[in-house]
Amino acid sequence: MERDRIAGSEVSLSHSNMSESAKVHHPGPPVKAEKTHGSDFSYVGIDAILEQMRRKAMKQGFEFNIMIVGQSGLGKSTLMNTLFKSKVSRKSVQPSPEERIPKTIEIKSVSHDVEEKGVRMKLTVIDTPGFGDQINNENCWQPIMKFINDQYEAYLQEEININRKKRIPDSRVHCCIYFIPPTGHCLRPLDVEFMRRLSKVVNIVPVIAKADTLTLEERDDFKQTIREELRANGIDVYPQKEFDEDAEDRIINDKIREMIPFAVVGSDQEYQVNGKRILGRKTKWGTIEVENIAHCEFAYLRDLLIRTHMQNIKDITGSIHYETYRVRRLNESNGHFTSLPAVEPKTNGLPAEQPAALQANGVAAQHGALSHEM
């Protein structure tokens, strides 16, 4: 039942928009009960829970796992370093050409503890050297898919333990950045195949790498083509249309979807431009400023990934992708006990829709029966 509004102190937290400076305003901690006692004795203090949540979050710290996929030489490591303003990835320029391209796809995961203004985060960057570099690239998504599913599996195992940890360490891949080479034409079969399979298990953010080789018109055409191809192939990249929560979300996310894929340029070199030191690439014909939105869309990518949607990305991974995996996994083991056709574990991670729904509460029912027995 509805109760009336209780007058109280204001705590405003505005949700920042993509086109602005993307800073979330926070006007300091809310006023405590004693201070508003003068005229406002009807204050209860429920809104103080926000501050409590914030404190708890700051104390616990955050975790974020980002995977970068793309052919070698597309500037993946440089982009990561630019994104997180530190050497999170080691560039692979140094080794000799024979050593540089691995025979198979490797998955290299490196974690760092970073801190900013009291907020601590454990950032894990998962690199996939060797992707798309072989002559025969069939099934190159398999090791990556396996890695992602292994992380889900580890989380699931921990979750169904009897004695489980207070806070289950989250190694699930939250976001996968896919690097599209700037051909200017269209997506290659490898791109389509990879994104099609992986968009069902992880949040994919496609970016056009080394975008300084495209003029603005070429860039727009290329983006248009890519968007159409994604739509035609039924590939749902982040932010997915079906997970928009309300009208406000949809408006914000539609703006983002208009800009996908972001054309980015990465750099960890600083240059002097107009008296300021900024990150950029210096060429004979000019300096490309990484954070200048007139030059490239790096700032938009950074805002999306870090400043506004990071929590949302983690939520979608946890509540949708992980749950899908869990449903599939728990149904698999029940598959040969029921009379329904066994759910075949498909390698592309596609959950079998109908059988799963039919026996959605199979375990619960049997569980219930068991509990009566015991």
Partner 1 sequence: MASSDVARQPDKAVRPLGLDGHVGFDSLPDQLVNKSICQGFCFNILCIGETGIGKSTLMDTLFNTNFENFESSHFEPQVKLRAQTYDLQESNVRLRLTVVNTVGFGDQMNKQESYQPVVDYIDRQFESYLQEELKIKRSLHNYHDSRVHACLYFISPSGHSLKSLDLVTMKKLDSKVNIIPVIAKADTISKSELHKFKIKIMSELVSNGVQIYQFPLDDETVAKVNTTMNGHLPFAVVGSTEEVSVGNKMVKARQYPWGVVQVENENHCDFVKLREMLICVNMEDLREQTHTRHYELYRRCKLEEMGFKDTDPECKPVSLQQTYEAKRQEFLVELQRREDEMRQMFVQRVKEKEGELKEAERDLQSRFEQLKRLHADEKASLEEKKRHLDDDQSSFSKRRAAAHLLQAQSLTVNGKKDKDRKNSGFM
**Looking at beta carbons only, is 201 or 279 nearer to partner 1?**
279
45 is a contact residue toward partner 1 (CB under 8 A): yes
CB of 259 to partner 1, least distance (A): 18
Start-to-end C-alpha separation, the chain: 39
Exactly one of 19, 139, 232, 337 binds partner 1 (CB under 8 A); which one? 337
Exactly one of 17, 19, 24, 341 binds partner 1 (CB under 8 A); which one? 24
Q: Which string of x and - marks every residue 292-331 that binds partner 1 (by CB under 8 A)?
A: ----------xx--xxxxxxx--x---x---x--xx--xx
- Number of residues near partner 1 (by CB under 8 A): 106
Sole window of 117-125, 135-143, 191-199, 201-209 interacting with partner 1 (rule: CB under 8 A): 117-125
Tell which phi-psi region holds residue 75, choosing left (phi > 0), alpha (psi between -120 and 50) or beta.
left
For residue 164, give both structure tokens. Answer: 């489980």
For residue 85, give both structure tokens. Answer: 């303003």
224-253 binders of partner 1 (CB under 8 A): 245
Q: Could you tell me which of 33, 24, 34 has the C-alpha nearest to residue 54?
A: 24
143-172 binders of partner 1 (CB under 8 A): 157, 160-167
346-365 binders of partner 1 (CB under 8 A): 356-357, 359-364
Sole window of 14-22, 65-73, 177-185, 214-222 interacting with partner 1 (rule: CB under 8 A): 14-22
Sole window of 8-16, 96-104, 132-140, 220-228 interacting with partner 1 (rule: CB under 8 A): 8-16
370 is a contact residue toward partner 1 (CB under 8 A): yes
On whether the CB atoms of residues 11 and 47 are closer than 8 A, the answer is: yes
Q: Could you tell me which of 138, 107, 140 has the C-alpha nearest to residue 125?
A: 107
**Looking at beta carbons only, is 114 or 342 nearer to partner 1?**
114
For residue 112, give both structure tokens. Answer: 């760092």
Exactly one of 35, 85, 90, 108 binds partner 1 (CB under 8 A); which one? 85
Query: Parallel, antiparallel, or unpaired: how do β-strands 175-180 and 203-208 relate?
Result: parallel
Rounded Cα distance, 183 and 187, in Å: 9
CB of 235 to partner 1, least distance (A): 25
What is the helix (H) or strand (E) element at residue 125, kind and residue range?
A: strand 119-127
46-75 binders of partner 1 (CB under 8 A): 46-50, 52-62, 64
167-206 binders of partner 1 (CB under 8 A): 167
Other C-beta atoms within 10 Å of 5: how many?
6
Buried b (16+ CB within 10 A) or exposed e, 287-323: bbbbebeebbbbbbbbbbbbebbbebbbebbeeebbe
339 is a contact residue toward partner 1 (CB under 8 A): no
CB of 324 to partner 1, least distance (A): 10
For residue 152, give both structure tokens. Answer: 């889900």
